[in-house]
Structure 1
Amino acid sequence: MTDFSARARAALEVRGMSMRSAARELKYDVGYLSRTLNGKQQPSPQLAAALDQLLEANGELIAAAEKPTTVLSEEPPGVEGEIAHMRDTVRYFVAHDGRYGGDEIAPAAVRVWKTGQRQLDNGVIPEQHQRDYLVTVAEVAELAGWLLFDANRHDACRAATLEAHMLARHAGDRSMERFALTNLAMMDLEAGRPGESLRIADELLDQPRIPPRVALLARIRKGRALARADDRRRSLAELDAARGAMAESIRTRDPAWTWWVNECELSGHEGEALLRLGDAGAALPKLQRAAELAAAVRPNGRGALYYRVSLVMAYTAVQAWRDCEAELASIPPMFDVVSSGRNRRRLRSALSGITHHPNAPLWLSDLAREVRYVA
């Protein structure tokens, strides 16, 4: 049993709450919660934060969840050791990215992926280990693609994610195939290819027996792509359908990687879509909610920074200059913690929106120029 699971079970006992009632309150599948509270599965940051709030643990469960569950031990020799190292890489780099962004660790992830890829290309992996090796290299390639995306290296992130998709297909790992496709849809959207993003989302939704959380994410991607194409009616319909599905708990059919498809994610995408559609007034409460939920997990993390930048854009659009000033002033210290090329690019766009706005006060334009220099 992990430190997190022991503390969470003790807190449940103190409050006289059963695991099943906790799962019902949190809208999580009881089987997933059981695996987590018995130390068989690492809790997601969102689950840790939700349990911490439900059980009034004052941050104790969040802190316990962030502790490594094991100390890295000596790896087994040969191919098994390589697989173990790659899996450790994925686990620790995912945690690092949430805290500090992808800029510094993207090259390291690429190196691990490329090394594994060379081993596959050279045909030196024993037959009994080939599928595990393929699956693991596909996961590292997917992670490298995401980190490159956060580092704002669009061509490289697309190449890595396409490779992850191909490797997962060769391995017969349908879950990782779908993960790669959802990431490709997001990358195409930011690269200005909403048509391609829409095609991928439809491809996912047309698959039989697609897990509920994967379908939900595909609808989010579709809604964002339609907003980019200025199709307000269909965009909001897809996002409404996603919100309706969010009310259901995480199911046992959902892949483990879908833990982050949650209220924060959906609210943020709803806000971004409304902002893109020119309805900043409706976007603001959605983005404020996403920023609040992201900060509850990690106040100075990459996710919290992302939504703060989004709020600067929304406040500029509605000409709420004092709110914009307060949000903007909070951002530079976050770049002392987070190194994310994607967020720097988005911030530069937000700052340009201020300095080129005909009604922006001079004092706010001056602040925007100062922040540009710092960030």
Structure 2
Amino acid sequence: GEAEKPAPPAEQRPSRLSKPELELLESTTAMFRLWDAQCGGGLRRKAVVGQLHEVTDLLQEPQPEATSKRLFTCAAELAELAGWMSYDVGLQPNAQKYFVLALHAAKEAGDKPLGSYVLSSMSRQMIHLGRPDDALELVHLAQYGSRDCATPRTQAMLYAMEARAYANMGQPSKCKRAARMAEETFADAGGDGEREPDWIRFFSEAELNAENAHSYRDLAYVAGRSPTYASLAEPVMERAVELFAKDDDHQRSYALNLIGMATVHLLKKEPEQSAALGRQALDIACKVRSERVNTRLRKTVYTAARDFGGVAEVTELTDELNAQLPESAEAV
């Protein structure tokens, strides 16, 4: 009977992770994601990073294969979120480090759609950093890697990111085609009751309109402040603002789209409307801790002040912005 004896310890040793514990880890990740959408990356980043370390420690121990797969998925989602929050508060090198970690973990989990989502976050960061060619390369990598397994909602999000990259590269026809593909693919999403992963749920009709509107707006800038593209952006941005206004869970997106709408009015030389939207965005920006929102708002208001300094509404908004959101050390 000696031969069988070594087997039981693995079974008896309480694997440090029970099923309820695993489920709790997964639901905590979803909760962190919701918090991030509600109140920006600043408040919860350290908690997410702490949780990520916890999961990474668990992965150092021998785990059953199914558990280890779920832990890698968890690690990938947490690392992506840590990267996203770092990006949101302006810590760009940190963000890149976490995104790369997320990509490795998604690969270990064998989760191609999740990997494509991480790549889309990386591509968004590249657009933010003024590197649209790199952004496009990352989106194409994401599309190539997940074409056979990503849900329509995920594919639509990737098309929308492709449109953003083309817009910033100044390629109108490719941009419009990708934006149209995003709309068509999105029309197939969710109707068949498919089980969507939690990380793609943010990509709603509001988000789709927001992405495409920002693509048209970016085209307008790249094309030398073209009012034609600004007019193309306007109804789509209006729809996004209208949908986000009803959504308490995505206040940061609401603020970003109010600012987007304000920039569209500046392109159309309508400073009063722009200032009114800027004021609404300022109210939300004071509640949402997002350096990205603050930076975009400052940029938009200072542009308005430069181009339309004589307009009373613009002057008032500039003073209010300087009083309520002074340049902070956090932006460094």
TM band (smaller chain): 0.7 to 0.9
- Tell me how far apart the structure 2 counterparts of residues 361 and 299 of structure 1 sit (CA, whole Å): 34
Q: Which runs of 5+ in 2 are unaligned?
A: 1-13, 221-228, 326-332
- 1:273 and 1:372, CA in 2 relative to 1: closer, same or farther beyond 3 A? farther
Q: Report how many residues are paired.
A: 298
Match for residue 259 of structure 1?
Answer: 201
Match for residue 3 of structure 1?
Answer: none
Contact between 2:113 and 2:149, CA under 8 Å: does it hold in 1? no
TM-superposed CA distance for 1:77, in Å, is 8.4
- Tell me how far apart the structure 2 counterparts of residues 85 and 247 of structure 1 sit (CA, whole Å): 33
TM-superposed CA distance for 1:217, in Å, is 1.5
Match for residue 86 of structure 2?
Answer: 148
TM-superposed CA distance for 1:238, in Å, is 0.9
Equivalent of residue 297 in structure 2, options 321, 331, 347: 347
Equivalent of residue 175 in structure 2, options 235, 240, 246: 235
Match for residue 136 of structure 1?
Answer: 74
Matched ranges for 1:271-286 at <5 A: 271-278=213-220, 279-286=229-236
Normalising by structure 2, report the TM-score: 0.82
- Tell me how far apart the structure 1 counterparts of residues 23 and 322 of structure 2 sit (CA, whole Å): 42
- Tell me how far apart the structure 1 counterparts of residues 28 and 110 of structure 2 sit (CA, whole Å): 22
Equivalent of residue 297 in structure 1, options 247, 263, 267: 247
Q: Does 1:157 align with 2:95?
A: yes
Contact between 2:256 and 2:281, CA under 8 Å: does it hold in 1? no
- 1:322 and 1:275, CA in 2 relative to 1: closer, same or farther beyond 3 A? same
- 1:149 and 1:86, CA in 2 relative to 1: closer, same or farther beyond 3 A? farther
Task: State the AA in 2 paired with 1:274.
Answer: Y
Match for residue 190 of structure 1?
Answer: 128
Match for residue 6 of structure 2?
Answer: none
Task: State the AA in 2 paired with 1:96.
Answer: W
Contact between 2:271 and 2:314, CA under 8 Å: does it hold in 1? yes
- 1:316 and 1:83, CA in 2 relative to 1: closer, same or farther beyond 3 A? same
Q: Does 1:311 align with 2:293?
A: no
Q: Does 1:244 align with 2:180?
A: no
The percent identity for this pair of structures is 20
- Tell me how far apart the structure 2 counterparts of residues 85 and 149 of structure 1 sit (CA, whole Å): 26
TM-superposed CA distance for 1:199, in Å, is 1.0
Match for residue 148 of structure 2?
Answer: 209
The range that moved more, 152-161 or 352-361, is 352-361
- Tell me how far apart the structure 1 counterparts of residues 93 and 31 of structure 2 sit (CA, whole Å): 25
Task: State the AA in 1 paired with 2:136.
Answer: L
- 1:302 and 1:358, CA in 2 relative to 1: closer, same or farther beyond 3 A? closer
- Tell me how far apart the structure 2 counterparts of residues 356 and 291 of structure 1 sit (CA, whole Å): 26
Contact between 2:206 and 2:240, CA under 8 Å: does it hold in 1? yes
Normalising by structure 1, report the TM-score: 0.73
Q: Which runs of 5+ in 1 are unaligned?
A: 1-75
Secondary structure (helix, strand or coil) at the match of 2:188 reads coil
- Tell me how far apart the structure 1 counterparts of residues 15 and 253 of structure 2 sit (CA, whole Å): 38
TM-superposed CA distance for 1:189, in Å, is 1.4
